[in-house]
Structures are given as C-alpha cells and as structure tokens.
Structure 1
C-alpha cells in the first residue's frame, strides 16, 4: 500500500511539474510575444480574459498541489529508506514553492489583478503604456516560474532514477 501511494504521489507531482513548466514556458515564448504583436488594447483585453479563465479547478489544482504531492512522495520515500530520492522530491517541492508559487503570489497575480481592473483606454498611446508596463515585467517573472518548474521536474526525475536503482 505504501509503495503504490508513493508511486502515485511521485507520478502526480511529475505530471503536474511538466504541465506547469509547459504552461509557463508557453506563455513566455508564445502567448506574450503574440500579445506584444497585437494592438495594445487587444492585448489588454485578451490578457484580462485569460486571467479570468485560467482560474479553473484543473489549473489551480495543478498549480497549488504540485509541491504537496512532491513533499508527500519525498516523505514516503524517506520512510522506505530511499533517503536520496526522498530528499530530491522534497527539494523539488521547495524549488517550486520558492521559484514558482512565491513569484506568482508576489508579482504575477497582483499584476494580473491590477490589469483586470484597467478599463481599456480609447487612446492607443495610453493603452500602449499600460501594456508595456505590464508585459515585460510579467514575462520576466513568468520565465522564472518556468525555469523553476523545470528544475523541480529535473529533481523529481533524478529522484525517480535513484529510486529505481534500489
């Protein structure tokens, strides 16, 4: 029973890390450059819609539960005398919390909330200023989230390799 719950926790955390890394990467390399190429008023409107729609149970669940499942896998591996693998899963959880969740709650989400409160200006220059102030900073911090998710995923992959060797 312990092995199957450990395997399930590890598998879920790996799937979630891959999903979050891909989501963050896709935004930084595709969505945001695409919006930057659109009219600023359209970019603001589209990002407001994205910010509202992304708050769904599947995304929020993956976003928030990834470090929980990674930590559970880490603790269970430690109880199975798989110390190195357990520590790597715990490190993966910590990296994700510090590199993805913390920037999300400290930077990206507050920026999204501020953008959601913007009434799209009729003047193109005003819209351009709002979008310019938002896009660069948001994308930079989103890229931090992507890289942190990749590091977390790599730590879990290394842990799984070590676990499989024993």
Structure 2
C-alpha cells in the first residue's frame, strides 16, 4: 500500500509540475513572441505532448488515487478518494471539456493565438491548482496510513 501511495504522490506531483510550468513559463514565453510563431510552436507542443509519459501521469494520477483509496482504511481512504475526485474534475474534465477543444481550434486555425492564450492559460492554471490540491490530499492520505 505504501508503495502505491508514494507512486500516487509522484504522479500528482508530476502532473502539477507540468501544468505549473505551462502557466508560469511556456505560455508567457509564447506570448512574448510573434503570434504566428507562437501558434506554430503551440501546435508542435500539442502534437508532441501526446505521448505515453503524459498519459501515464494524466490518467495514472486519478486512477492511482482511486485504487489507493480502495486499499486504504479510515481517513487515509477518504483523503485518497478526495484526491481522485479533485484530480478527475479539476484536471481530467477541464482538459477534455476546455483545453483540448481549444487546442483543436488552434490546430484547425479557427482560433487566433491572442484569443487562445489568455483563456487556455486561465483554465490551465485552474488545472494546476486542482492538481496541487490533489497532491496535498494524497500527502494527507499518506500521513493517515
């Protein structure tokens, strides 16, 4: 159980860090260059980020928290279930419902970068906060084991 809980912690930390890096460095960096170049760069990022490592942390975080919740007892289970729920809603659902459709619109050329960047970054920051909250909840679950 402890090993799975630690894996859950690492997955949540990695996902939090990924989203954080985009909001605090990648998007401001893209905002500082020509919009056509920024669009091109973001299209490339959106294509290259879809790999096994992203899916491992993106899908693995809420699933590992859920499994940890089923294997834990008492308050530890509650914390892990809460982490799974916060991650699922704040990361998975926001990504699927908002960020990915915006990525698709940017890729299709139906959304300009000047419209894309502030909205995408705001929702990415929401994902960051949700993942950080999930990370804290996993930590609480670990302390309750």
TM over 0.5: yes
Who is 1:71 aligned against?
Answer: 66
Distance in 2 of aligned mates of 1:101 and 1:65: 11
Counterpart selection for 1:34 from 24, 29, 41: 29
Runs (4+) of structure 1 exceeding 4 A deviation are: none
Residue in 2 aligned with 1:23? 18
Instruction: Using structure 1 for the length normalisation, give the TM-score.
Output: 0.84
Of 50, 70, 83, the residue aligned with 1:92 is 83
Q: CA deviation at 1:147?
A: 0.3
Query: Residue 139 of structure 1: which of 114, 121, 136 is its match?
Result: 121
The whole-number CA distance in structure 2 between the counterparts of 1:28 and 1:86 is: 31
What is residue 110 of structure 1 aligned with on the other side?
A: 101
Give the Cα separation in 2 of the matches to 1:64 and 1:161: 24
| 1:101 alignment partner in structure 2 | 92
Which residue, out of 57, 65, 84, partners 1:62?
A: 57
Aligned-partner Cα distance in 1 for 2:100–2:56: 16
Distance in 2 (alpha carbons) for counterparts of 1:71 and 1:137:
30
Question: Using the alignment, how far apart are the partners of 1:145 and 1:13 within structure 2?
Answer: 17
State the number of aligned residues.
145
Distance in structure 2 (CA, Å) of the matches to 1:23 and 1:95? 17
For structure 2, list consecutive stretches of 5 or more residues without a partner in the other structure: none
- Normalised to the residue count of structure 2, the TM-score between the two structures is 0.96
Note if 1:157 corresponds to 2:127.
no
Structure 1 unaligned blocks of 5 or more: 1-5, 120-128
Question: If you compute each CA radius of gyration, which structure gives the higher value, 1 or 2?
Answer: 1
